Homo-oligomer: A and B are copies of this chain.
């Protein structure tokens, strides 16, 4: 929300914010694997900070849903179960659809051009089989659509959920068939955006999301966290 303390400030970021970003990355990238206990003291030593900012950071990550705090027992990295997945999917679907509708109302030609460029580059990476680069551009495109929707509240909500899934998406390798399908969907996404067809875009994005979810679901079923 919009409460600005009177004066714009340049101050350096507090330690706990720095820690939140570091820890979030560590969780998303699997350095801190799901279900593992978070060794508060060890982390403090590793980062060279005292427990106070670390504890503040853990409180923040708990609200974001990435870790779970148990009174007097410490912090655990939250697991992602198939059940969780089935809960998160409809919520993200609703948000994703909304982002598509809003983006079509508001996107500028310039923003569209940027997305188109990223799309072309992404397709190149797909053709060359460069998974990591593909994923980077993919993320960038979805981020840009969210940006074009021009709704900070929506973006924040979406990103919070996305972070919880990204851990699994990070590990799950898409099959060739699903990958091809995803690229085809991206073509449709671009077309709908260009036509400013919000209803269409919402539908495509939702389908695209389902694709992602199936990938994660299969991975979870195999590498089973229960």
Contacts and interface: CB of A to CB of B under 8 A. Distances in A.
8 contacts: A1-B164, A3-B76, A3-B77, A16-B59, A90-B98, A90-B151, A91-B95, A94-B98
Contacts of A94: 94-95, 97-98
Interface of A: 1-5, 9, 11-14, 16, 34-35, 52, 55-56, 59-60, 62-65, 68, 70-74, 76-81, 83-84, 87-88, 90-91, 94-95, 97-98, 102, 151-154, 156-157, 161, 164
B154 A157 contact: no
Nearest to A64: B63
Contacts of A95: 91, 94
A13, A59, A74 — most chain B CB neighbours (10 Å)? A59
